[in-house]
Structure 1
């Protein structure tokens, strides 16, 4: 029996006759049907439930009747009982906006809003049903290339987000109930589809709404956690097959992405999902920046980073969300990120691995961020140098590397940044003078030059000598060594001595967002290279310091030429190499050349 028959049947309490019934009569008839089931008479109630079952291919009249029923139920929610009308509620919550005409969607959404606002008993069910629409059914996913289906997706999600927002405004408790549901319904990593990408798009839409004021932090944590999970799903070690005969700072990774995908189980879909998630995350941050709320969003983003990424040492890509946010607003977000990392490193209340990870992030960020003024980099280096100098003055007689891991991580951070920035730092007398205490740090009996990663130390000393910063013995050469037993000792089981989190972004689409603001090693002009008047010094010309006289060339840097990883994978293997490693410079002293004045 159809909706019209239910409402005009002579057995109904309110017979409006000939299908010409008013909304009031319809509502009274529906209420009568709802009341009858509690009196032991279920016929009219069963007919009401049956009238909500839409058969595929139903004509316009059937859809019109359904709209009438839904509107009547919206005005009768106070009469609905969660026990006696379980079958009716099951029919309502089992409906899908994806299967309905636009005017029917309007009526169903109105009913859901009424149910959620009238009684707290239905709030969770209404929110769960709406969240369930974040991921379309399979038939929609398979046809998303069609314009009609794309428009339908836009319409459905517009209704869904509008309903969630209205419920949140009517029921103050709704956002706090919504957030755990969002986390629970987040799609798992699936190697067969990209459902998580569609879901995150909707999370960001919520984050941009007033709901984001309440749940923005948790939404970013959900996204960051999923990015991390996808990041860890990829076996990056199989992709980063470096030549052990090449030095760390000579490496320019070949474009092995496709080969890596083939060697990774399910790699193609995981790569694609991670890349797409990063791109929509970048787009969301850019939208926040255009809306003038990036500074506010950044605090929530950093909280998610600190919770899920900071101590995840195998992450290769997800941390670039922070890098991109900083590149959008260097003066605020860019400074905040470095300052927060510095504060974590200097905090004695933080766990040792967290402090070491923070300074590794800080060093990698200061080295790679093309948007960071040299003056700011120099100020951060000064704080690190002063901290290491103070540590040397207060240390005890224990010189085991594992007893001074924080100190060595700070020293390595200084040298690593200077490998990228030394030319521009030494060109400014004030910045050069701020590095004077570094000499006593490097000459201290804790021997950071012997303990820190040899490849970093060797490149640093080579540039320091060429730049007139120190006079260094030529015998202090590490050749092709990439790590040592001593650096392993200070790096600990997490190998934080080899942790350079902002190595080149290895996902092509994501890299297109990062590369314009990223300093690749191939762009660095070390101090031992002669000046070339025809070339700009890439690591000097950065925002806030100097402007190029010529417009930058259009287009991103070639992806395959600029991917560089300096994360070492090889250990020295024999006593001869160890003996060579332990040789110290015969003399390290402040240069008396004119350049040092």
Structure 2
């Protein structure tokens, strides 16, 4: 009797003993069919293979037949030959759990586990089959929008992940193979968004699941790599298609200049026609990246709630150093680090900044050092959760490095020879443009600012003021003049706002180090995670109107002298402070930010400081956007 007929007859009866085929007898028939195929008799074998191909709208008898055959194969895996039974294996590993009822799913995963544990030659095939079920067939995409589709999704994925865990327990080396399979199976950036998102969901589920300790780090690194792939696919022409010569800061300011009735001042909403919609409405790649970023943010939040953030952050930090930091024109992927730091400022937030400053000080690659210090400056300027005291301590390290560099140099300005030095100077000025006023609001930090050795750097023959980006230099000098902290001789101040040959040589064309990575996030869904902890240029600029009226009554020469000569003991070992002092600093810093009005009083063309770009971009115009 043929295998198909025997199985069909046996499966048609609830009491198998009343018919003459027990489970062991069915296994025996399947084994015979497999052995006969080795000798050239393929009739029963072909029937068995044909049963495996049943998937479309199965009748109850057909479901029972398929379940019976799968279970029989589980007991006969020792007779399956990877070469001679290739068609059977192809049929089994080509089955999609999504197409079957739960009875068939259970029988199929049981067979997969049996195959994986029977021989090492099946492990990769089994893992590949399971990973292929991370995403459904295209025909299921619409069904997933309905409750029954979501139920099927849970039924499939629960079985996939439990089976991966069972195989890992039976085959200890399988997680190493799983990492490779997942990377190879990962959807490319052109695949439909729901499929990419679902695949990454499963990767994150593995990261936090039972075998997360074995494969978790690989999952996170692979996800960051995919974020970078999507990120670099978004060209700047897509973002600045209206006017490439216009900086992102200008656009941010312009959109905030709308009618007051259009603004929600809770920090979560902007006018309907925001710059986010303006740039990325209909951009398919940006929408995919946005969805994956949100998924990653939610995973980070969940990891924080479960006490796993430290572990996850270490992996992300290593990945950031190897990929994001060196990626050409990464625009948004780095916000994964920003959000992780915002969840734990005292640990992750400080560790991130220290890693960047260490890279700047000691890396063997100049480009990495320049990228690191640009990222550091952008982070310190934009991260609302970083205390003013910590910003000051990092600035001290940067200033000390630049000062030591100056002591060993006596030549004239040379952008190419001293590019790391100029990148450091530019970073210092950029951070001060954002943070100087908030630090001045804290008496202890105000005293320390007067004691920094920035004057000697700015007056050095290397003359960073004539090399760094003019827009940043101009804004910095404006703030320095009003605060009377830093004095610069006239011959060191660049004339006008046009770029000199020196600054153009430093900026160059298409330079990675000319970007400040933490500009306002232009991804629509991701923005809500970043906005509560983000310092916008409009917030900083809005304090000018409040304080400029006081400039004439500002710090007197006597006050300056007292600040310059007093308080030196505070600077002895890098801004040491007690916990109470730190809490006070944080309170003062929060207050200085909270009082900043979001809506500026004057139009964007009122002064050049408004147009200071957050993103140092290639020298394509007089303003070096």
What TM-score do the two structures reach when normalised by structure 1? 0.84
In the alignment, does 2:383 pair up with 1:382?
no
In the alignment, does 2:526 pair up with 1:524?
no
In the alignment, does 2:413 pair up with 1:402?
no
Deviation at 1:64, TM superposition (A): 1.8
Separation (CA, whole Å) in 1 of partners of 2:592 and 2:425: 37
Q: Find the partner of 1:451 among 449, 467, 471.
A: 467
User: Tell me, what secondary structure is at the counterpart of 1:83?
Assistant: coil
Residues 262-411 of structure 1: pairs in structure 2 closer than 5 A:
268-349=283-364, 351-397=365-411, 399-411=413-425
Separation (CA, whole Å) in 1 of partners of 2:523 and 2:9: 64
**CA deviation vs aligned residue, 1:53-82 (integer Å, no higher than 9, x gap):** 325333222212221221221122122111
Deviation at 1:492, TM superposition (A): 4.6
Separation (CA, whole Å) in 2 of partners of 1:83 and 1:246: 62
The question of whether the paired residues in 2 share the 8 Å contact of 1:309 and 1:318 is answered with yes
Deviation at 1:140, TM superposition (A): 0.5
Q: Which moved more, 1:353-362 or 1:133-142?
A: 133-142
In the alignment, does 2:224 pair up with 1:224?
yes
The question of whether the paired residues in 2 share the 8 Å contact of 1:116 and 1:122 is answered with yes
Residues 484-503 of structure 1: pairs in structure 2 closer than 5 A:
484-496=500-512, 498-503=514-519
Partner of 1:78: 78
Partner of 1:537: none
**CA deviation vs aligned residue, 1:480-537 (integer Å, no higher than 9, x gap):** 54x54322323455535631110100011111100000000111167754359xxxxx
**CA deviation vs aligned residue, 1:119-149 (integer Å, no higher than 9, x gap):** 0011111111111112211111122211111
**CA deviation vs aligned residue, 1:512-563 (integer Å, no higher than 9, x gap):** 100000000111167754359xxxxxxx99994448689989xx99xxx999
Relative to structure 1, the CA distance from residue 218 to residue 543 in structure 2 (aligned partners, 3 Å threshold; closer, same or farther) is: farther
Partner of 2:552: none
Residues 80-479 of structure 1: pairs in structure 2 closer than 5 A:
80-190=80-190, 193-240=193-240, 241=242, 252=253, 254=255, 255-261=274-280, 268-349=283-364, 351-397=365-411, 399-431=413-445, 432-433=447-448, 435-471=451-487, 476=493
The question of whether the paired residues in 1 share the 8 Å contact of 2:360 and 2:369 is answered with yes
Separation (CA, whole Å) in 2 of partners of 1:41 and 1:290: 61
Separation (CA, whole Å) in 2 of partners of 1:293 and 1:529: 45
Q: Which moved more, 1:410-419 or 1:395-404?
A: 395-404
Separation (CA, whole Å) in 1 of partners of 2:165 and 2:295: 22
Separation (CA, whole Å) in 2 of partners of 1:573 and 1:121: 61
Give the gaps of 5 or more residues in structure 2: 11-15, 256-273, 549-581, 605-609
The question of whether the paired residues in 1 share the 8 Å contact of 2:332 and 2:521 is answered with yes
Relative to structure 1, the CA distance from residue 543 to residue 514 in structure 2 (aligned partners, 3 Å threshold; closer, same or farther) is: farther
Root-mean-square deviation over aligned CA pairs: 3.6
Separation (CA, whole Å) in 1 of partners of 2:409 and 2:340: 38
Relative to structure 1, the CA distance from residue 35 to residue 437 in structure 2 (aligned partners, 3 Å threshold; closer, same or farther) is: same
Relative to structure 1, the CA distance from residue 565 to residue 113 in structure 2 (aligned partners, 3 Å threshold; closer, same or farther) is: farther
Relative to structure 1, the CA distance from residue 466 to residue 243 in structure 2 (aligned partners, 3 Å threshold; closer, same or farther) is: farther
The question of whether the paired residues in 1 share the 8 Å contact of 2:34 and 2:79 is answered with yes
Separation (CA, whole Å) in 2 of partners of 1:2 and 1:563: 82
Deviation at 1:468, TM superposition (A): 2.3
The question of whether the paired residues in 1 share the 8 Å contact of 2:466 and 2:494 is answered with no
Separation (CA, whole Å) in 2 of partners of 1:268 and 1:247: 18
The question of whether the paired residues in 1 share the 8 Å contact of 2:249 and 2:611 is answered with no
Q: Which moved more, 1:192-201 or 1:63-72?
A: 192-201
The question of whether the paired residues in 2 share the 8 Å contact of 1:251 and 1:564 is answered with no
Q: Which moved more, 1:460-469 or 1:48-57?
A: 48-57
Q: Which moved more, 1:277-286 or 1:206-215?
A: 206-215
Deviation at 1:23, TM superposition (A): 2.1
**CA deviation vs aligned residue, 1:133-186 (integer Å, no higher than 9, x gap):** 122111111222111111111211111111112212211111111112211111
User: Tell me, what secondary structure is at the counterpart of 2:253?
Assistant: coil
Separation (CA, whole Å) in 2 of partners of 1:198 and 1:245: 37
Deviation at 1:568, TM superposition (A): 5.3
Separation (CA, whole Å) in 1 of partners of 2:611 and 2:482: 27
Separation (CA, whole Å) in 2 of partners of 1:563 and 1:192: 39
Deviation at 1:256, TM superposition (A): 4.1
Relative to structure 1, the CA distance from residue 37 to residue 521 in structure 2 (aligned partners, 3 Å threshold; closer, same or farther) is: same
**CA deviation vs aligned residue, 1:211-238 (integer Å, no higher than 9, x gap):** 3323333222221222112112222234
Relative to structure 1, the CA distance from residue 464 to residue 563 in structure 2 (aligned partners, 3 Å threshold; closer, same or farther) is: closer
User: Tell me, what secondary structure is at the counterpart of 1:134?
Assistant: coil
**CA deviation vs aligned residue, 1:339-381 (integer Å, no higher than 9, x gap):** 11111101142x1111000000000000000011111111111
In the alignment, does 2:614 pair up with 1:566?
yes
Separation (CA, whole Å) in 1 of partners of 2:219 and 2:49: 37
Deviation at 1:244, TM superposition (A): 5.6
User: Tell me, what secondary structure is at the counterpart of 1:508?
Assistant: coil
Partner of 1:37: 37
Deviation at 1:32, TM superposition (A): 2.5
Separation (CA, whole Å) in 2 of partners of 1:459 and 1:247: 16
The question of whether the paired residues in 2 share the 8 Å contact of 1:143 and 1:149 is answered with yes
Identify, as 1 or 2, the structure richer in helix.
2
Aligned residues: 555
Residues 52-63 of structure 1: pairs in structure 2 closer than 5 A:
52-54=52-54, 56-63=56-63
Separation (CA, whole Å) in 1 of partners of 2:179 and 2:34: 33
Separation (CA, whole Å) in 2 of partners of 1:268 and 1:174: 39
The question of whether the paired residues in 2 share the 8 Å contact of 1:363 and 1:416 is answered with yes
Relative to structure 1, the CA distance from residue 365 to residue 515 in structure 2 (aligned partners, 3 Å threshold; closer, same or farther) is: same
